[in-house]
Amino acid sequence: MIDSKTIDDLAKKLSELVPDALKNAGDDLGKQFKQALQSGLAKMDLVTREEFDAQTKVLERTREKLEQLEKLVQQLEKEST
């Protein structure tokens, strides 16, 4: 999941984009942006970079094993004919 600092930074940037006429809402607007971001991101079912990298390595090993097995099957097929 995205850390709290990143969400705070995004909320701050969104607050800065608000026109000056609405900036009187102050911190309340920033808090609302932060809550909306947290809620939206929670619904996305995101994974951490570490989890993604681990699964990428598992996939690479699986792909290598599959290629080895395909070669073995081809070799066995040649031997049986």
Q: Provide the domain count of the chain.
A: 2
State whether 57 and 81 are in the same domain: yes
CB-based contacts of 25-32 (< 8 A; 24+ apart in sequence): none
Q: Which domain holds residue 52?
A: 48-81
DSSP 33-78: HHHHHHHHHHHTT---HHHHHHHHHHHHHHHHHHHHHHHHHHHHHH
Q: 26 or 38: which carries more pLDDT confidence?
A: 38
Q: Per residue in 37-81, pLDDT tens? A: 888 877 887 888 899 999 999 999 999 999 999 999 999 999 987
State whether 38 and 7 are in the same domain: yes
pLDDT at 22 over 70: no
pLDDT at 19 over 80: no
State whether 55 and 33 are in the same domain: no
pLDDT at 24 over 80: no
